[in-house]
Structure 1
Amino acid sequence: MWKWISDTVGPPLGFATTDGMLTKEQVLDFCRLNLAALEKPEVKQRIAEHFKAGEQAAEMTTKVQEEIFSSMGIEPKFGISCLGRVGSVFRNDQEVMMNFMELIGREELACDEAEKPEEFRKKMELMQKMHEQQVAMEEHLKGKSPEERLAFIQNMQRQMQQSKTQTGVGGNNVVSPQEQLHFFQQQYAQSGPSQPSRAASSSDRAQNTSNVVQRR
């Protein structure tokens, strides 16, 4: 697993960063390298083998993180500790937070792929359907006012919460991607192509439906 890292950024030159907090550039570089690593077949295989050996897949993703930090000249344990502070230190930096949340979601998927391959496949299918549905909804909402878009979202949230209450899970205020997809499909079927105001725009929900992935 080390080879792809050394091929990308070269061998470690010693730990230049051992205390304080990672800079914005270091966080962004780390996210870029980690995302690239999780797409490598050899890394996916290592995570899967680690899980089959009776260990947690997350332990191997942490190992990947440590090796990346080492290759960047950052003491691994220090780098890992900094990750827990990214959300507070860079909470107002959209670029950092978007990249960091993307990485978190991709790591969750990597663990799911190793631990629950069938659930992972279904999740990928659902995400693809959600993406297609969002594109369709955005097309239908072209030319609609912000008020009309907001009204649809509020209607969605209200109906979803009513459904949760009726099924005995009303205490959960999170509308899952599965529930959103089902609701959008119902609205689309009711409105048809000629009534776009019944649809929802992906731009209104992109952060909630695409970047956050629940494992369990």
Structure 2
Amino acid sequence: MATLKLGSQTTTLDKTGEIMQNQPIPPFDKNTLEKMFASLIGKQQQIPPMYSAIKVNGKKLYEYARKNITIERKPREIEIYDLQLIDFEKDWIQFEVTCSKGTYIRTLGEEMAKKLHTVGHLTQLIRTRIGQYELQNAISIDALDSLTACIPIYQAVPFPYQKAPDALIPFIKDGKPLFYQSDAPLILWVNDQMRALAIYQKENENEYRCVRGFYDENCFHS
């Protein structure tokens, strides 16, 4: 969820930067915003902002930006899956966006302002979801007083798990290759207590190799 302030542009494209310029804000309505949102849906090329952590020649872009050095950046393909209008006034827009990894919402806000024939910068940005994890289900650091609050590994990983027969567990603990018929590129092997044993990656048609083991019995596995 983000809030875009219209009429002023900052060096960082958010409220932490210094104001570079101010421009008038042409009047707009809900219909104008919905059409503008629709025009931004889909795959597109986006140039990362100078104030970002992308490295060029061993330095992060924001290190150059802080010295007033502008570096040419290559466009990156991103995808906007969905844009929803939450609220708006004559000089700000609040919206929700579902997008691909690597999308800069500050740059998206800048593009929105351009389409409204003005400039703008973000004053608020909240990540409400990443993959299957939602902010509404998050636990604060202060509230996290025990590992019982953690999500079990077999629920957290974005690939299937498989219970290992007792006879197979020693081979998994030793990280030995396994021959197993499956279409999954990755498999998490667990024991009868649903404790994680290891993650295996598919190498050939039916051959899997260990890429991460969890076989220290003193560790928390589940």
TM > 0.5:
no
TM-score tier (shorter): under 0.3
Q: Which has the higher strand share?
A: 2
Greater Rg over alpha carbons, structure: 2
Q: Which has the higher helix share?
A: 1
Structure number with greater CO (CA < 8 Å, separation at least 6) is 1
TM-score, normalization by structure 2: 0.24
TM-score, normalization by structure 1: 0.25
